[in-house]
Chains A and B, each alone.
Chain A
Amino acid sequence: MTAAISADGIRQRYGDVQAVDGVSLTVEAGEFYGILGPNGAGKTTTMEILEGVRKPDEGRIELLGMAPWPRNPKLLPRIGVQFQASAFFRKLTARETIRTFASFYGVGPKRADAMLERVGLADKSETLTDQMSGGQAQRLSIACALAHDPELVFLDEPTTGLDPQARRNLWDLLRDINAEGRTVVLTTHYLDEAEVLCDRVSIMDHGKILHTGAPAALIREIDDTVRISVASGQLSLERARELLTAAGADLATLEDDTVTLSVSTRLPAPVLSVLAEQNALRGLEVRGATLEDVFLQLTGREFRA
C-alpha cells in the first residue's frame, strides 16, 4: 500500500526565517499522526505545504501517490482540510455553510446535513456561523472538511482556544474519524492532546523534526524522571531541599509555586520517604514522564505553548 503521505527534504524560507528546514516524514494509511511543537515551530507551514496550498522552496511530496503541487483536481476530493481560523462565508447559517462547501464536491444536502448531525450541531443548523461558540465553529469546520468523505484529513490545531469540555468532545470525534479508517494528520501545541490521540508524533522546533515515534515509546526512551508534588505550605522550600539532599535524593528540579511543591527526580523512593516522615503528603501526586519531558530533553528548554 502506498503511504498516505511521503515527504522528503521540505524546505521553506520566509525572508530571513527558515520556517521549514528539511522536513521528511512518512504517514501510513489509517494512521493518526501528530506534529507537535510550540508556536512558530513551522507546523502550520509544513501542513500548508503538505496540503498543496504552498509550494516549498525545496523538497518532494506525495499524497496518496500524487503530487499536491501544482493544484491537482484528482487529488482534491480525496483530502479534507480543516482550517486554523474558521473560514466560512459571511452571514450564512451552519446548515447553509456545510451545504455550500459540500456542493463543491458534488455532495448533496442530505449528506451534508447528516455530517452536521454527526458533529453534534443538528440543533445549531439555523445559527449563523458568526454567532457560534469557538467549539461549535471548530466542529462545523471539521464537518465541512469531512462532508465529501475524504481518505486523508488535515487538522490544524483543532482544539486551540476551546474549553476543556469542548476539547474532550472534539477528541472523541477525531478518534471516531480515525477509527473509520481515515488517515488523520494533526498539528497541536498541546502535549496531552498528542499523547492521547496520536499513533505517532513528530516533535518539531525551529523548522526541524527532532524526533518521531509513538508517544509512549518516546517517553520510555528518555530517562524515567518522576514528578512528585504535594500541596504547598506543609514544608518550606529550604527545609525540603535540606532534608532531601541529606536523604541522598537526586533532584532534577525542586520548586514551589505557592500551590504545589513539586520535585522531579529519577529516584522517587527517598523523596517519598522524606515527605512521609515529615507528614507532608497532603495532595500527593506522582506522575511519570510526559511528552513535556521528552520535549525538554530534546530541545534543552521548557515547552512554550
Chain B
Amino acid sequence: MATRHSRSAARIMMAPAVILLLGWMLVPLTMTLWFSFRKFLPLRGGDLGWAGLENYVRFVSSSSFWPSVQATLTIVGGVLVVTVILGVLLALLLDQPMWGQGMVRVLVIAPFFVMPTVSALVWKNMFMDPVNGILAHIWKFFGATPVEWLSQASMQSIILIVSWQWLPFATLILLTAVQSLDREQLEAAEMDGAPSLKRFWFIILPHLSRAITVVILIQTIFLLSIFAEIFVTTQGSFGTKTLTYLIFQRVLESQNVGLGSAGGVYAIILANIVALFLMRIVGRSLDA
C-alpha cells in the first residue's frame, strides 16, 4: 500500500510535467480564442477591437474554405486507404518465413525516419520532375508522355509522398499485431480446410481490427496537420491547400491573425473529434 508520505511525494514529482503541459495548453489556446474574436492585423493597424463572430463567419464563407476542407479530407482519406491496405498486406508478407527477414524489415521501415522536408524534396525533384525525374524516365521508357506530377496530378502526388512516409508506421504496428495472432487457431482452421481468403477474412482481419483502428486514428491526427510536405512542394497551389496550410497563410503570410485564429479554433475542434475516439481506445487499454 502506498503511504500518505509517498502519495505527497508522488504529487510533487508529477507537478513539473503537469504544470508545463497545462501552461503549454492553456496559454496559447486562450490567446487563440481571444484573437479569434478580435479584428487583429499586426501589420495594418494591430488590434482593431472586438469582432464578435465575424472571423468565424468570414473564415467559413471565404472561397478557399471548402476547397481546403476537401483537400484535407482527400489527403487524409487517400493516405489512410493506401497505408492501411498496403500495411496489412506488408505485415502479412513480413510475417512469413523468409531469408533475411530482419534486413527486409529495415528496408521497409526506413522511410519513417526520413525528415518530411527531405522526403518531399527528393520526391518532388528526383522522382516527379517532368524532365529528369525517375518517373519521367519510366514513362518515356514505355513510350508515354511524362506527367507533370505536382501540377497535373497534385493531389495524387502529395498522397503518394505522404503514404510513402507513413506506410512504415502502419506496417510496423500491424506487424506487431499479426505476430500476436494465435497460431494454433489458424492451423486448426487450415486443417479444417478453410481456404486462405476465408482464414484472412474471419480470423486475421478481426484480430487486426483493433490495431487498424489505432493506426487510422493516430495517422489521422498527424495527417490533419501535415505541413512541410506541402510547404516545399506546391506551396498550397494546384488544389493542395489544406486547412492547416490555409490557416498558416492567413496567420503568417497575410498576417490576418483574427481570421487565422478563428480557423485555428475550427482545426482544434476537428482534431478533437478524432482524438475523442482515440482516447477511448487508449483508455480501455489502460484498464486492461
- Judge: A and B partners, yes or no: no
A residues apposed to B, CB below 8 Å: none
B residues apposed to A, CB below 8 Å: none
